[in-house]
Amino acid sequence: MDVILENLPLYWNGFLRTLFLSAVSGVIALVLGTLLAAARVSPVAALRGFSTVYVEVLRNTPLTIAFFFAAIVLPRLGVKFEQFEVAAIIALSTYTAAFIAEAVRSGVNSVPVGQAEAARSIGMNFGQVLNLIILPQALRTVVPPLINILIALVKNSSVAGAFFVLELFGYGRQLANANGDAVIPVLLGVAFFYLLLTVPLGILASTVERKVAIAR
Amino acid sequence: MTTHVPGDALVSLNAVNKHYGQLHVLKDINLQVRKGEVVVVIGPSGSGKSTLCRAINRLETIEGGTISIDGKVLPEEGKELAQLRADVGMVFQSFNLFAHKTILENVTLGPIKVKGVPKATADKDAMALLERVGVGHQAPKLPAQLSGGQQQRVAIARALAMKPKVMLFDEPTSALDPEMINEVLDVMIQLAKEGMTMIVVTHEMGFARKAADRVVFMADGQIVEDATPEEFFTNPKSDRAKDFLSKLLTH
């Protein structure tokens, strides 16, 4: 256990970096995913097609491919960045957005079609129907699956550790290498700090689920 | 029967056709509704009367023919269609009140967001409308807290808040318990008396006799008869209508 206590500042640093990676990627993924879901239900066929292809490709390929693409292919295409963190955020948010798009789409489909018809019949345009009527009702049913996706995002951010981004898992690996005799406590410490992020998210999910159920 | 004098055609359907797959659900429909007229559409289920009603504000697309409202042909999906829909009030069988909004917000949302009416004015107008349909005291509640009859009256108020040129009713009482049907029909009769142009798809023959200027009888996607209620109920011309009415009267 000493190895954890001695390296607490390092753990804490890694924890904060994981939190940062997850929070930034999470926000971008939420925005991008909601836009993709809106495109998926829009009356414009080209938008629907783009969204479908995007979601199917990103959802059905491993996260590491997204990382390789962001870290190696993008710079060759001329998209250069100073830090690997940027690549990690691009990979994590584009990948997670696909899952969020699917969750939001299923939430949109859970709102009875009559709600949209009533909104259209009082003269609302597509954007108003979506923003004022459908999404507020859809998001309530979507919150629990969204939080599941965010928990997965926190854990997925560890892949960044393999791409030279120092976050919780990256520091954990350094510590494990430096303390070959105490690998198990080192990894337990890493797991503990991940739980510190993901368990509250899970609790939040069940609280929100109980609070936002709407009567029909 | 109402006594107002109908003017020019406000709603005009010309040679309208629609298929659901193999099913020819609207066959060469021609229908003119003048300003101030109350037209009741009746017919057996599956006759296309609901589809007809929904096609008038393009909740159903049509394949052939034209539909025009106040001289303007229904545009394709987009901004102009939204504007035209604001002029056409619609009341649904299943009410479709916005489940996450209060009764008051249900009525004010359209005027505020679509017409840009200031909130204070919209609130005041909405309260007046809610009082008029007899649910003023329910304003702060959510739709699920109201009875079906009350919800449907709110839905009528919501449509009226847009100051529509014509009101469409798609079986407005079919989802209601019997004791709640009259409270909704009373509101509709009042509306008819005030001169609102109305197209009503219904099974309520009493309403048709009392408030309609014309009864349109549909069967198998066609308009079979178009007559005054008096003519239609006492002296139907087609066998199809005679058959339909005889089935109603046996119960």
Closest approach of B182 to chain A, Cα-based (Å): 23
Q: Which chain B positions have a beta carbon within 8 Å of A118's beta carbon?
A: 90, 92, 96-98, 155, 158
Q: Region A83-102: what's the mean pLDDT?
A: 92
Whole-number pLDDT of residue B1: 39
Whole-number pLDDT of residue B91: 96
Q: Does B120 touch chain A (CB under 8 A)?
A: no
CB contact under 8 A, B114 and A124: yes
Q: Which chain B positions have a beta carbon within 8 Å of A124's beta carbon?
A: 82, 110, 113-114
pLDDT category of residue A213 using cuts at 50, 70 and 90: low
Give the percent of chain B with pLDDT over 90.
80
Is the per-residue pLDDT at B5 higher than 60?
Answer: no
CB B225 within 8 A of CB B25: no
Nearest to B144 among A117, A125, A215 (CB): A215
Nearest to B79 among A117, A125, A140 (CB): A125
Q: Among candidates B59, B45, B52, which has minimal Cα distance to B30?
A: B52
Structure token digits, residue A17? 């970096």
DSSP codes of every residue in B82-137? HHHHHTEEEE-TT----TTS-HHHHHHHHHHHHH---HHHHHHHHHHHHHHTT-GG
CB contact under 8 A, A137 and B100: yes
Is the per-residue pLDDT at A85 higher than 60?
Answer: yes
DSSP codes of every residue in B219-230? ETTEEEEEE-HH
Comparing A1 with A20, which gets the higher pLDDT?
A: A20
Q: Among candidates A123, A115, A45, A118, which has minimal Cα distance to B79?
A: A123
Whole-number pLDDT of residue B4: 41
Residues A50-73 have pLDDT tens digits of 999 999 999 999 999 999 898 888
Q: Which chain B positions have a beta carbon within 8 Å of A128's beta carbon?
A: 113-114
Nearest to A133 among B77, B88, B98 (CB): B98
- Segment among A38-42, A112-116, A204-208, B96-100 with least mean pLDDT: A204-208
Nearest to B114 among A118, A123, A136 (CB): A123
Q: Which chain B positions have a beta carbon within 8 Å of A215's beta carbon?
A: 99, 142, 144-145
Q: Which chain A positions have a beta carbon within 8 Å of B92's beta carbon?
A: 114, 117-118
Minimum CA–CA partner of A131 in chain B: B113
Comparing B46 with B202, which gets the higher pLDDT?
A: B202
Q: Region B185-190: what's the mean pLDDT?
A: 94
Q: Does B94 touch chain A (CB under 8 A)?
A: yes
Residue A131 DSSP label: I
Tell me how many residue pairs between chain A and chain B have CB atoms under 8 A apart. Answer: 72
Backbone angles phi, psi at A28, to 5 degrees: -60, -40
Minimum CA–CA partner of B106 in chain A: A119
Where do runs of H (alpha helix) occur along A61-83? 63-68, 74-76
Q: Which chain B positions have a beta carbon within 8 Å of A112's beta carbon?
A: 96
Structure token digits, residue B56? 């008038």
Q: Which chain A positions have a beta carbon within 8 Å of B97's beta carbon?
A: 118
CB contact under 8 A, A120 and B85: yes
